[in-house]
Amino acid sequence: MKNLQLLFPHIAKSAGTSFRNALESQFGLDKVQRDYSINAAETSKEIASYIYGDNDYFRFKLAFDELKCSLLAGHFPASKYARLFQIENVVTFIREPVARVISEFKHFQRHQNFEKELSDFIEIPRFINIQHRMLQNVPV
C-alpha cells in the first residue's frame, strides 16, 4: 500500500496544534515536515533548504517521498503546496470567524505584548480574512 501523504495548512487559532500533535504521534516525527516560516525553529531542514533556500518544490517533493513522509503541516496558504498532493489529502480546520479573531487577539496580547484594543487589531491587514487567504485558489 502506498504511503498516505497529507497536507495540513494550519490556520492559526483553529485547533490545528492538537490535530498536528495527534498526527505526529501517529506517524512519528521523522515522517513529518513542517513549514512555519523561513525563520521559525519548527520549520524542517528540508523545507528550509529546498523551499526557502532553492525555491525547488520538485526536489522537496522528491525528498518528502524518499523519506516516506506522511504529513506536511504549517502556517502556509494551501495553494503553496497543493499541487504536490492529491486534493483529497488536503485537510484543515476552519473556525467561526469572530471567535477565531478574538482568540488570536488574546494570543497576541499574551505572547506578543499587543497593547491596543480589539478594534485596532482587526484593522491590521495581516489579520484580515486569514481563513479566506489561507484557502483561496484551492478547490474546496
Decide if pLDDT at 8 tops 70: yes
Predicted TM-score (pTM) of the model is 0.90
Decide if pLDDT at 1 tops 50: no
Backbone φ/ψ region at 37: left (φ over 0), alpha (ψ -120 to 50), beta: left
Rounded to whole angstroms, how far apart are CA atoms 89 and 73? 12
Segment holding 21, helix H or strand E: helix 16-27
Looking at residue 128, its pLDDT comes to: 93
Task: Give the pLDDT band of residue 101 (cuts 50, 70, 90).
Answer: very high
What's 24's DSSP letter? H
Looking at residue 2, its pLDDT comes to: 63
Region 49-76 average pLDDT: 97
Looking at residue 42, its pLDDT comes to: 95
Q: Are 37 and 12 in contact (CB under 8 A)?
A: no
Residue among 104, 120, 137, 116 nearest 11 (CA): 104
